[in-house]
Amino acid sequence: MYELLQQDQYRADEVAKLLEIGIDIVRHAAFTGELRAEIVGHHILRLRRNDVLAWVEMREGRDETMRLKLPPRRAPWESTRDV
């Protein structure tokens, strides 16, 4: 694992392993352009370290924004109206 952290470029499966996420998440992000990648046809050739880091930061920011926008959770027995 240490060797992976030292690389400047990664394969999609290596990014998935490092981030402990599914390979399909990495592939989807690359093919939709959310994650910058070098792609030929239907093959992701490589992902640059800086692009992966930028994608992770963007995802973390998006997740935080979504948490801030969601209303507080209520138990089913609580009233939906504040008094």
Mean pLDDT, the chain, rounded, equals: 83
User: pTM for the full model?
Assistant: 0.70
Host domain of residue 27: 2-69
Task: Quick: pLDDT tens for 3-32.
Answer: 767 789 999 999 999 999 999 999 999 999
Asked if residue 75 belongs to a domain, the reply is no
Which pLDDT belongs to residue 7?
84
Contact 55, 29 (CB under 8 A): yes
Asked if residue 48 belongs to a domain, the reply is yes
**CATH number, domain containing residue 23:** 1.10.1660
Report the domain count for the chain. Answer: 1
User: pLDDT at residue 50 above 60?
Assistant: yes
